[in-house]
Structure 1
Amino acid sequence: MKTLFFLLLFVNVAFAFYIQAPGLFSGNDVPPLPTLQPERIKPLAAAANCLEWGSFFETDLEQVEAAIARQELKDRVSRQSAGKTPAYWIHIPPLRSKYHAIKKMGELRRLKITAFSHVQDDSKWNNAISMGFFHNIDEAQNMMASLRSKGVRSAVIGARNLEQIKFTVQAPSDDITGRMTELEREFPGSELKTTQCAVSKQELTDTNDK
């Protein structure tokens, strides 16, 4: 009798435990999957054709960006640094004062030379006259020979490390490609080429809508 009593007691206790904690036996204790939040889902990047135009020295930026603005491309073109590189600089070394620099520039104009700029800053180059930066020495030497033939004797070739700048346009339309081609013609020595770049699907949609 005692054995039967304890057996029935055990069955009742087990049954009561099962009723109170069904999750332990039913398999319903699997943790719920996390809820996805749409605002956190980022669109996948897709490969697209981009235009890359360059490269320019940092000293050319004012002139180049003015040309970009004339083509009404300022909002479509992105500027990127391409790292520093040695540049060959043709210049007339710093003159004694601003007055002497202006006088020298007058002499250059009388020689029918107009491609120069007056350096005015707090550096050691203040009151120098810049006549162009070149990527390789052959270009610089050819320019120097041309200046010598016109009567310029005080210009020299120096070396400086300058930041290079390039400009990119993502997924350009035919119209924008045409305007970028015009910019390439305006700046001899620059190069416009097609490259692959990563653009989000949303950016591609926005571009195609324009």
Structure 2
Amino acid sequence: MTVLRFLIILLLMLNILALAAIQGWLGTPAPSGEPERIANQLNPEHIRLSSETATGAPVAAEPAEQTTAASPSADTNGLLTSEATPSPPDPAREAEPPTLAATAPMPPAAAEPPPAEAASPPTVCQAWGGLSADEAERLSARLRRIGVTATRSRSETPDSWWVRIPPQRSRAEAEARVAELRILGVTDTYIVPEPGPTQFAVSLGVFKTESRARLLLGQLRERGVRNAGIEPRMTTTHRIQASLPVAQLRNVEQAVPGVGAKRQACTR
């Protein structure tokens, strides 16, 4: 019974001490509610709700220096306690409008200009006349090699003028005509022996110009030669015409030596 009684008395004393501590009889402050806790903080007037800041309510200016130093408060037992003072929000930063760089649409990229077409080299129309068949073929081949299409033509032109007595039916008749000419004082004669349309003709002279041929014919007629005449000796010549770059003229003419002297501008 003694132990049980001691435990009961001890339990009662502990309950009394607990009640005294709750009521503040032992010198410790009794626990208080939320309003009293806010009142005990430093600078409670700086505290603003976030809803007030968002609606544009006036906010007190920030102090020159904000500190979060703990404010000491002494309790009845001489103990020090501290609570940090919250810093007020910065209305200038919250109300700052978005910058133009973030909201302004990007201008459309400028379209790139189309590439300039490469300028073609200047061309010139040239014609080469009086060409032989071999010269015309080599010149045409060189023009085709550089990608130029040429126009080719041929013509019959007098190469010389021949003073002669027309072909005879046989060599005997040709020799009889030569004997007659010698009687008239004409000794520069030649009987054509080659087969063909001029065989057994009696040649009296070949000239590069028609005027020289006609001069001889007049002299023969003065001596009494009546059956002589002038026959032009024709030759076939070729003509090449093409439009080509000026820079290629020398390259083309190198394929045919001397052809540059036969070149002239195209006739329109």
The two structures share one fold, judged by TM-score above 0.5: no
- Structure showing the higher helix proportion among its residues: 1
Q: Shorter-normalised TM-score: what interval?
A: 0.3 to 0.5
TM (norm. structure 1) is 0.36
TM (norm. structure 2) is 0.29
The structure showing larger relative contact order (alpha-carbon pairs under 8 Å, at least 6 residues apart) is 1
